[in-house]
Copies of this chain bind each other. A is one copy, B any other.
Amino acid sequence: MPHIRLLVFDFDGVFTDNTVVVTEDGGEAVRCWRGDGLGLTALRACGMEFLIISTETNKVVSARAQKLGLECLQGVADKGAALAVVMQQRGLSSAQVAYVGNDVNDLACLRTVGLPIIVQDAHPAVRTAAKWRTRAPGGRGAVREVCDTFAEILTNHARL
């Protein structure tokens, strides 16, 4: 795991509890986890890079990504192809990339990376594609758990 350089996230169901609040004018809001920020900050200090790839183009994704200081690709119909391009551009092998997802539109990405991760409450159809299933559900600590685990391993690795 110390060789992971880029940690890629799906948004809905990973940063959120996969619900969406719909208002009368069609506005949307999502429910995120405050604790994610602390985990991302600590892991960024270890040198990890982050990226969000989302199928939809949605202002709430931009808003949350900006708050957390995360780079974000939206409106991506083929997430697997988009991730492959990113990896090529950055000169990263699959062994250097981890991906966190929760549903069937994450399958291509999960199969592209060396460390495919799903959240506790991911859709059953993606379970066999993952090497690690977090204990925390999406939007309730899953991102934090991934960050904490990486940070602990990277810190112990650096001390050796």
Q: Name A108-133 residues within 8 Å CB distance of B.
A: 123, 125
Please tell me how many copies of the chain the complex holds. Answer: 4
**A64 / chain B contacts, CB cutoff of 8 Å:** 22
Contact A38 B139 (CB under 8 A): no
The answer to whether A27 and B24 touch (CB under 8 A), given A13-B35, A103-B35, is yes
Please, how many angstroms separate the alpha-carbon atoms of A13 and B144 in the complex?
A: 14
Q: Bin chain A's interface residue count.
A: 35 or more
Given contacts A22-B30, A123-B144, 15 further A-B contacts (CB under 8 A): A18-B34, A19-B31, A19-B33, A20-B31, A22-B67, A23-B27, A23-B28, A24-B59, A26-B62, A26-B63, A26-B66, A29-B29, A35-B123, A38-B104, A38-B105
Q: Name A16-50 residues within 8 Å CB distance of B.
A: 16-35, 38
Contact B35 A20 (CB under 8 A): no
By a beta-carbon cutoff of 8 Å, the part of chain A in contact with chain B is: 12-13, 16-35, 38, 58-60, 62-64, 66-67, 103-105, 123, 125, 139-140, 144, 148
Contact B139 A19 (CB under 8 A): yes
